[in-house]
Amino acid sequence: MSTTIETIATTATVVATTAAAGASSNTSSYSTEHIKELVKDLLIASLQPNKTVIITGLLIVLLVPVILHQYLHGDESGSSSSSSSLPSIILAGPSGAGKTALLTLFEKRAGRKTSPSSTDEKTASGAEPALTHTSQTPVSVELNAASFSSSDEDRKPRKFLLIDTPGHPKLRSTALNHLLPLDPKTGRPLPPSKTSHIKGVLFLLDASTLSPSSPDSSLSQTATYLYDLLLALQHRYSRHSKGSKHPPSIPVLIAANKLDLFTALPATLVKKELEAEIGRIRVSRSKGLLDSGVKEDVVDEKEEGDDWLGEYGSEKFEFRQMQEFDIEVEVVGGSVAGTEGPGVEGWWRWVVERV
């Protein structure tokens, strides 16, 4: 090792001496022997293990990538983390009900200290309709929940997320996965803490096409979607209520849209038609399970509520049966567009009270 160092030092000395000789006469230079000793000392210091140098080098190697990643992606991950912790409302419903238009309206009006009103609707009616959401990825919009009380006008608005989910039949699992998320590795339901940020579900439907006598009635597909959504919430409660602590309640608002149209059913009839259709779906699914070859005693051995929505064995379905599973269901009429009708104030108030 010493011979190698000596050789390298001699070579470096020759190079340094040659360079010094080629320099101008005004440039001072070290003696050949002095340069040789200096180079030799530097080589020895660099080859000898030094704890300080090793630790410093390791810190540089480990910390530089972390610092660069934080610098490049820190803002993005930080905003994502803060958004996921905000209270959230799931916006669901069949295609064409007006979900994206409602989301756009809420987004425009949420920054004000007053709620959206029928006056706002007159302005919105002249705007171009929002495009229907067909993406598999839900659209999340961060909004401010304004107070309705005049005494609370000076309070800081509360932030929350309104998550617009696609209404196409093939993409409706997006909304259900929010309510009953599964572990991607095991396929088992995740604990209720994973859905603690969800404060409610706003289920928007088109009340103008809900009449069963209408040739283009949407009653069947609307009730089927609502059935699956309520059943997911029922499973969420049943699977996690065996312990001492029940999962946080997730209420449901059935928002009957387009009440400004002549063919729209009022909220009371919307509730009645949905309950009747869900009752028929419940019987049909139960009968289909038996017809598929599953023995009746096997079906009876299942826990109550596993595949039966609402009160087990009841002849008629009513939304009040969902209270058994800590699910509050309300039906409120409104209209996203149009100069007449109740507007969206009732829906906005429901959202604000829950976030």
Query: Helix, strand, or coil here: 253?
Result: strand
Query: Helix, strand, or coil here: 342?
Result: coil
What CA–CA distance (Å, rounded) separates 314 from 35?
Answer: 100
One pLDDT digit (tens) per residue for the chain, 355 residues: 555 556 555 655 555 555 555 544 444 455 677 776 766 666 666 666 667 767 777 777 788 788 877 766 554 444 444 445 788 999 999 999 999 899 988 887 665 443 444 434 443 444 444 444 444 456 677 777 765 444 445 556 678 888 999 888 888 888 888 888 877 788 777 777 777 889 999 999 999 999 998 888 999 999 999 999 999 999 988 877 666 577 889 999 999 999 999 999 999 999 999 999 999 999 998 886 655 555 555 444 445 446 789 998 898 999 999 999 999 999 999 999 866 667 899 999 999 899 8
Task: Specify whether the CB–CB gap between 196 and 88 falls below 8 A.
Answer: no
Show me where the domains of the chain are located.
88-112+127-289+307-353
Task: Specify whether the CB–CB gap between 318 and 327 falls below 8 A.
Answer: no
Task: Specify whether the CB–CB gap between 256 and 265 falls below 8 A.
Answer: yes
3-state secondary structure 47-97: HCCCHHHHHHHHHHHHHHHHHHHHHHHHHHHHHHHHHHCCCEEEEECCCCC
pTM over 0.85: no
What are the strands of the beta sheet with 198-206, ordered from one edge? 139-145, 158-164, 88-92, 198-206, 252-257, 329-333
The yes/no answer on whether domain 88-112+127-289+307-353 falls in CATH 3.40.50.300 is yes
- Residues with Cβ < 8 Å from 101, sequence gap 6 or more? 129, 130, 336, 337
Q: Which helix (H) or strand (E) holds 270?
A: helix 267-291
Give me the helices (H) in 112-205, please: 118-125, 173-179
Residue 347 CB: number of other CB atoms within 10 A?
24
Please compute, for residue 294, the number of CA atoms within 13 A of its CA located in the half-sphere on the CB side.
13
- Residues with Cβ < 8 Å from 182, sequence gap 6 or more? 188, 189, 190
- Report which DSSP code applies to 160: E
Q: Render pLDDT for 197-235 as a digit per residue (tens, 0 to 9).
A: 899 999 999 999 999 988 889 999 999 999 999 999 999
What CA–CA distance (Å, rounded) separates 21 from 10?
Answer: 16
Query: Helix, strand, or coil here: 199?
Result: strand
